[in-house]
Amino acid sequence: MTDRSRRVPQARLSRLAAFGQMAGGIAAGVLGEGARRLARGERPQMSDLLLTPANARRVTDQLSRLRGAAMKLGQMLSLDAGDVLPAELTEILARLRETAHVMPPVQLSRVLAAGWGPDWRRRFARFEATPIAAASIGQVHRAVLPSGQVLAIKVQYPGVAASIDADIDNVATLLRLSGLLPASLDVAPLLAEAKRQLHEEADYLREADQMRRFGALLEGDDRFVVPRPFDDLTRPGILAMDFVPGTPIETLEGAPQEARDKAMGALLDLVLHELFDFGLMQTDPNFANYRWQAETGRIVLLDFGAARAVTPEIAGAYRALLQAGLAGDRAALRAAMLRIGFASPALLARHGATIDTLTGIVLDHVGQSRASGLFDFADRSFVADLRNRAAPLMADRQSWHIPPAETLFVQRKISGTALLCVRLRARLPLVEMAGTFAER
């Protein structure tokens, strides 16, 4: 078995050096790829040289080592079905959703002693040193109390909370130096909100409260299981909860169509309830946050650090978007896109006709499902046309627009859920489900 243990860099200088190493590797990759393409008589664009599989591997390897906010941002980029990023880059970046280095035992013991005291092992009948999961902010261990109760213990990587602001600033610097983002694009509000969100995710006491809130909201809903926090052992950097068995949600890929549809129908219905009924949404759609229980047919919901309030204003804007889309009203769609922040007046003035065309392609594709009543998420036949038609808009860097942070976090959950539907080849009554919530 491969040893995935690697010490988490904590000192500011060591993390900065890692970013410098990443930048140097990317620059070398750009020069090498540029030389190769020029030798073939090509005139490559800078973006073509940056977004190569080799550079993607450099980034994923370094972010996996750093963990924390840096890796979290990389995971956000990985939530793409190959519709925007090239498919090979999407596949490489997806490694950030699936694997991470883990803390060596000595570092782990030091973190647990800081939270529980030097005699922390006496609290357990058994504590498994090898983690059962590892992600961007922490790793999870199975433990057994003297009473026999089995717990899952999430342990935060040391230094992660303190490094959030610097990590995001370093990633932003890399993006600016790369030239991928136009200088006129103001990313400061988004970066500030990302820092706030990640600081909240690093507060495990807050996550325990959010877990309780979701448990109460979903009480009696036999489609889902929400673990309960174990308060006696929970600390700001240690979260103890019920251990709930389950397999990765991706194991459903080999399940019958009916099982896949039932699971994804439940998750899409949950997103709609979060947006329009709960006023509370878990905005991180990382596939690792869902587990599948084949014997019960239930979905285990994990990781509530990214739970955040959904304001009535944003819910109303999404409802208007749904209503306009279902009615095929393009003027209302434009108004809803402005209201929700997907578009700016300047963008519509420069590319209004293109945006109408793009929305028309999507609406036509969704509309084709009305006859059967089922939308086939695996049918990506419209994507190539969408990408080609959007090319002039994407090339006009001066028209690029960043939606408000609240819209981006909500849309991240919606898009991630849709990506999982694509992965599991779900067929769902999408129009009917959307219509139910649009008219509430």
Q: Which helix (H) or strand (E) holds 220?
A: none
Q: If DSSP codes are grouped into helix, strand and coil, which group holds residue 3?
A: coil
Cβ–Cβ under 8 Å, residues 288 and 133: yes
Q: Which residues contact 119 (CB under 8 A, 6 or more apart)?
A: none
Residue 153: name the closest of 176, 175, 134 by CA: 134
C-alpha to C-alpha distance for 421 and 428, rounded to whole angstroms: 9
Query: What are the tokens at 60?
Result: 């994923």
C-alpha to C-alpha distance for 191 and 402, rounded to whole angstroms: 11
The answer to whether residue 169 is catalytic is: no
Ramachandran category for residue 43: left, alpha or beta (phi over 0 → left; psi -120 to 50 → alpha): beta
C-alpha to C-alpha distance for 114 and 131, rounded to whole angstroms: 19
DSSP codes joined into one string, 27-91: HHHHHHHHHHHHHTT----HHHHHS-HHHHHHHHHHHHHH-HHHHHHHHHHH---SSSS-HHHHH
Active site residue: 80, 167, 261, 284, which one? Answer: 284
Report, as residue numbers or ranges, the catalytic residues: 284
